[in-house]
Chains A and B, each alone.
Chain A
Amino acid sequence: MNLCKIVFRSLRQHALSTIITAASIALAGGLLMSVWSVKRQAQATFTQVNTGFDAVLGARGSQLQLVLNSIFHLENSPGNIRWTDYEYIRDHPSVKIAVPIAVGDNLRGWRIVGAIPEIFTEVEYARDRKFSFASGRNFAPTAREAVLGSYAAAKLGMKVGDTFKPAHGLDYVESHEHPEVYTIVGILAASNTPVDKVVWIPIQGVQTMTGHDPKAATDVSAVLVKLKTPQAGFSLSMMYNRQGDKLTFAYPIGRIMGDLFRKISWFDRILELVAYLVALVSAGGVLASIYNSMSARRRDIAILRALGARRRTIFSAIILEAAAIGTVGMIASFFVYAVILNVVAVIVRAQTGVVIDPWIPEKIMLIVPPAMIALCGVCGLIPAWKAYRTDIAENLTPLS
């Protein structure tokens, strides 16, 4: 019968309040770790994912909008550029590969992007990784053929051989369907990049789709650029952004996304603040829970003291009990963390195609649990002091 067993018995005796308090700690701990982890992983992932390209050339405007639209397939296109602009940069000595894209149609809400077949054969979307096909093959440059990203295919429930009619715009309206019928010839293997959530067709198909402006039949929405050397990006940036006034050269992609996260960092701080407050309130719950039970425990404490337990033993038992509630809560917080991260990962993937791995160990997992347990222990100080001062004689039997 040691101190730990006494603490365990006390926790069991007050099982309901123990469970409720530990659950609030679990929620607080899980939330705190999640906020931190999502922020860090999102920042790390979105500043690293570039689908294999160093820069994007597009219409004059916001570099961020250009990157979001061309790389992450979010937002609207800032406008079109001429085919000759594509040809110019394609042939530039500093450029390894240039892929023109055209956007503006959808398949039941999933974005259709026109591109050249080389995007799946020449581009490494990550170091030493090229796109591959889970089934089927690449589309032919002039045929009405389509390749589906893995996530889009799964969500659309489509397979090789299925056909569809592209619809105009980014939101699906049945009456806006073009008459052209495309056949799915390939499904990409998952790359965990935004490519997974796109329906890919030949660029010529988007340019010449019935109903599209014939004057824009040779325009492209943007050009994805892979440079031979990273330094070349700065001179191209100078050429397009400083000296020119018609086009925007978004480079480097990671910095542009980093700027986005810096712009919304105030929101991260608010989330962190909320999580800290939740953690404080939960730790306060430990204090309230134990403190409120002190009246009922006085007799037990007096009995233990009468049996020879010293004041500091009782004091330690209460601190240990508070810390034990924190420990139970923090163990459960990993479950809460996993649930939150999985939900966030599903949402992020659905919105961007980018995969956040909920199972990556984060440094915060080593910091938050001991900090929360220590905080709970500190919150046990007040009830522990109350227990310390419990008078034995007063709380045993009435004095005769």
Chain B
Amino acid sequence: MAMTITEKILAQHANLDRVAPGDLIEVKVDRTLANDITAPIAIKVFKQIGVKEVFDKDKVTLVADHFVPNKDIDSAQQVKLMRDFAREQALTHYYEGGDSGIEHVILPEKGLVLPGHLVIGADSHTCTYGALGAFSTGVGSTDLGVIMATGEIWLKVPPTIRVEINGTRKPYVGGKDLILHLIGLIGVEGALYSSLEFAGETVDGLSMSQRLTMANMAIEAGGKNGIFEPDDATLSFVKERSLLNPVIFKSDNGAHYERVIKIDASRLEPQVAFPHSPANVRELSKVGTVAIDQAFIGSCTNGSLEDLQDAAEILKGRHVAPGVRLIVIPGSPLIYKQAIMKGLVEIFLDAGAVIGPPCCGPCLGGHMGILAAGERAIATTNRNFIGRMGHPQSEVYLSNPFVAAASAILGKIGGPDELKGK
């Protein structure tokens, strides 16, 4: 019986020869993670269950990234609770401060997720690791507390939607535009309960950063996971970061797909998602005049070194428009250091940017760039729901780093092509 890559990983972790969509299975988890918002409740649940030790101190990963450096007393208490638990359990992978960064950036960076892994995190963007050929999905804190105790979770095998993307991309079109276009096409519940499997020659040509961006936003279409088959790019990325042997799964010929979506990438412009939905997508040329107050480059979606390089390419020798606040947040301390060494930080500072410490920043309206009533921001983040970045009467537009950087200079949403001569 032919299976998809998602079905194969799930079957292996359930110790079954085969699984089919709709099956309820119990799987063993290779890695589990929570952050400073979701861990406190998970720890409470873990204690209620009544076991003394986590199932594996190397596999339970806790990352302080949402409201750190601690933004207020309540946040400090939450992080302290998580830190105390990590110490008490002697967790190998607890990250905070200069060791830390955004969870979905640092786990791949530190080689903690490999192809073939099954990863469950108490964060909806846990689906990011599908870029590495792993099955990964988000859950809530109660599920996570139970996993910390047992190392297992029940899952329903999702049907798979195959997304075939072919054609040569235009300049300034990347993974962010491909995924925004897809979400615009199928809507925020277009992949509800389903797996999104990305394939095609355009996808094969994407860097790991771009694939991570795409898998990251599978949840914005309601998807359970987003996944890419591992290839040479995946294997060399992983080999640089881990000594462990990855397990390579690929979809069989004849595997069953609930739906196949074909996208011609050669026709796409950079995409912009208008308020208040990631599915409210327009081509850049159809944006019209939208003045902005803030531009944010960073987040688990676009906080990679490649993303910062894309932004720097546009910002080099230019300055943000009067009245526009540009915030750049590298996804990890390593990326921050590389950005300094490559001269990107100097470019950002010369352009008038403020640079924040690696963390989630203003993406979820926590801190470091909150919007006032009536303000508009363009952001390389993943959600533009009402009030997501601050006041309920503020607006967030989602784009790739090229467009966010160009918009900061223009003072309105626009692309690099509009900067010629400026």
Partners in one complex: no
